[in-house]
Structure 1
């Protein structure tokens, strides 16, 4: 039996063009976009609530700054008419925004999050939401992250960063599912 999505809010986080700029490190999840688009299509077909999150960077030279081409949503992730956008300038979509109020007004019972990057804005939003009492779910295969410097002249591969953050989030802050789990009818 498919779950009732009418009170489960889909929260795509920072799926923006700026992360394609060559100034960003290597990403790993080539399926992220297809999985994210499938989630959006599923929610839209169900008439379920979607609240988009966009990072409007205040850092000088950021590829995510308003007015920069990179601030735009990636193709296929643009909000449709009536789908709200929460603008943030820090890692958590709950800090300095009206996200919590929007969710309460929607009568939300749970939040399904995905986007870029797993270890930064997605993780921080999930942790904050869980700490605020929201039932959070992470769609791990619809997330992506980057190789990061290890502090010793090397790099930690994005796949390793993803695995560590998904494990940590799943251990304490949220339920972890796949795109197929949600689209196939598993309970969020």
Structure 2
């Protein structure tokens, strides 16, 4: 792929130069008993977070499961990242995470990818302590070593960690594909605003269309 001469982002995936990254699909933020929600009342779960849990469990995760299966079958590199400190007390976290109160201790259940998307033994998982995986991990180094030029992104939250990764990946010269129906955030409005804000940074392709594109 002569990436330096491209004039469009609408480039079909080249399996030999592509990878998919699942962002923050972990017990901490997906499970009712996860660290992000364990102290939230049932009333708030049903009200304030009702849309989020419905979106994540009925739309985003099923589509991510399909993507995971399809990309594995196609032999395309599969990567994962989760919010997880490199220490138990989180002293290595970003200042923003410290102020927010986010700490997913090293090796904790909260930091594990959910069972529905469990990584294979040879799939790379990047623990991160910042919004963008490109800031607090060596993912750029790894992607270049793998020969990746096209990066597919999906996961949580659309308008936070996913959007941050998109912007950084573009600045680092990756062609980015976002799968909107395999992402989620706290409201449809936030999701839609994010998709509109980043449309100039990536192509946006549905799960069905992307699987068809890779022959799955």
The alignment's TM-score, normalised by the length of structure 1, stands at 0.84
Find the residue that maps to 1:66 and give its secondary structure. Answer: coil
Say how many residue pairs are matched. 174
Are the aligned partners of 1:18 and 1:63 in contact in 2 as well (CA < 8 Å)?
A: no
Q: Which has the higher helix share?
A: 2
Structure 1 residues 137-176: aligned runs within 5 Å: 137-146=177-186, 158-170=187-199, 172-176=200-204
Kindly indicate whether the alpha-carbon contact (under 8 Å) linking 1:114 and 1:140 is maintained by their aligned counterparts in 2.
yes
Which of 10, 15, 27 lines up with 1:5 in the alignment?
Answer: 15
Q: CA deviation at 1:69?
A: 2.6
Q: Is the 8 A contact 2:80 2:125 kept in 1?
A: yes
Provide the residue aligned with 1:78 in structure 2: 118
Residues 118 and 145, structure 1, Cα contact 8 Å, conserved in 2:
yes
**Separation in 1, partners of 2:152, 2:24:** 14
Unpaired stretches in structure 2, ≥5 consecutive residues = 1-11, 91-96
Measure the CA separation in 2 of the matches of 1:63 and 1:38.
30
Alignment TM-score, normalising by the size of structure 2? 0.74
Q: CA RMSD in A?
A: 2.2
Select between 42-51 and 64-73 the one with higher mean Cα deviation.
Answer: 64-73
